[in-house]
């Protein structure tokens, strides 16, 4: 992208505030909370906070805690279209920009064997929704509408636009 980044994990509470908090509100809040936490440690930096979640019918699919939860996720997503929301917040001491990117992902029908075999790879454990489109999980994706980089976890086109504006001294809020 032409920028130098340092990854700094932000340990925040990722609980949903309420069932009425929409997936786009949820990822925007988390991305901003992550950015604000890191800005407090690095006050002279431009901070990028990002959070991604998988959702269907306003239900949020986080990282599966165990096989049972993963199985539930895959059973619901199998053969259906769901949404992936990625919140993106860019902040410094004086400016804040927060947005989100929504993409649609359609899974193929997954058999019980597909679900068990995929879990056995270990890939789903730390992934929102229990899958990685850029990994083995991509073989279960029928089609995508939207930003693949956002589904992976970093909406590159949107981030480039915001960072270029920041570097040019724009975006004052």
CA separation for the pair 65, 150 (Å, rounded)? 23
Tell the burial category of 111 from Cβ atoms under 10 Å away from its Cβ (0-12, 13-18, 19+).
exposed
- Report the alpha-carbon distance of residue 107 to residue 139 in Å, rounded: 9
| Beta carbons of 46 and 90 less than 8 angstroms apart | yes
Count other C-beta atoms under 10 Å from residue 64's C-beta: 22
DSSP classification of residue 137: G
> Which residue of the set 11, 51, 104, 114 is catalytic?
51
* Tokens representing residue 43 in the block: 């006050």
> Is 51 marked active-site?
yes
Find the farthest-apart pair of alpha carbons in the chain and give their distance in angstroms, rounded: 54
Q: Which two tokens stand for residue 42?
A: 């690095």
Tell me which residues are annotated as active site. 51
């Amino acid at each position: 992208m032409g920028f130098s980044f340092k990854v700094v994990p932000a340990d925040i509470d990722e609980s949903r505030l309420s069932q009425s908090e929409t997936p786009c509100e949820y990822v925007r809040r988390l991305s901003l909370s992550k950015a604000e936490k890191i800005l407090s440690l690095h006050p002279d930096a431009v901070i990028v906070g990002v959070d991604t979640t998988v959702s269907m019918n306003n239900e949020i699919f986080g990282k599966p805690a165990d096989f049972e939860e993963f199985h539930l996720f895959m059973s619901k997503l199998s053969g259906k279209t769901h949404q992936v929301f990625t919140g993106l917040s860019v902040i410094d001491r004086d400016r804040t920009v927060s947005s989100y990117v929504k993409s649609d992902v359609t899974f193929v029908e997954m058999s019980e064997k597909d679900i068990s075999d995929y879990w056995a790879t270990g890939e789903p454990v730390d992934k929102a929704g229990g899958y990685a489109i850029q990994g083995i999980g991509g073989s279960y994706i029928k089609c995508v509408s939207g930003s693949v980089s956002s589904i992976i976890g970093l909406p590159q086109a949107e981030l480039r636009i915001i960072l270029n504006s920041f570097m040019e001294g724009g975006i004052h809020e």
